[in-house]
Amino acid sequence: MFGRIREAYGRLRDARRARSRPEAEGSPDGASRAAGKRTPNLFEAAAAYVSACAEDDQDRIDEAAGWVSPEALSFGVNELACRAVIALARERDESPRAVARALLGLPAG
């Protein structure tokens, strides 16, 4: 479990470094502005990031991580997790705490 956290932190750190490069070097924001496209918002980035993680698609993970700041991505992923746990809890007629613990493989408590 901690390995996945370290891996996610490393990807976020790398994305932050990539965003600190000048736009001429291929920053995702610079590329989209130059092409006249809008920049994805933090919820779009979070959805793309989480779905790419679920599919183990490193290229899409890196792409989505570069769309917004690491802090914004973290907030979006947290919001997505909360909404997913609430939706599952309603579907299963269980508490969000019980669902979250079950998803993580933790004992009921």
Question: Across all residues in the chain, what is the average pLDDT?
Answer: 81
**pLDDT value at residue 36:** 64
Q: Higher pLDDT residue, 15 or 71?
A: 71
Q: Please, what's the b/e burial string for 2-28 (b: 16 or more CB within 10 A of its CB; e: otherwise)?
A: eeeeeebeebbeebeeebeeeeeeebb
Residue 39 confidence class, pLDDT cut points 50, 70, 90: confident
Residue 98 confidence class, pLDDT cut points 50, 70, 90: very high
Residue 18 confidence class, pLDDT cut points 50, 70, 90: low
Say if residues 7 and 53 touch (Cβ distance below 8 Å): no
What predicted TM-score, i.e. pTM, was given to this entire model? 0.63
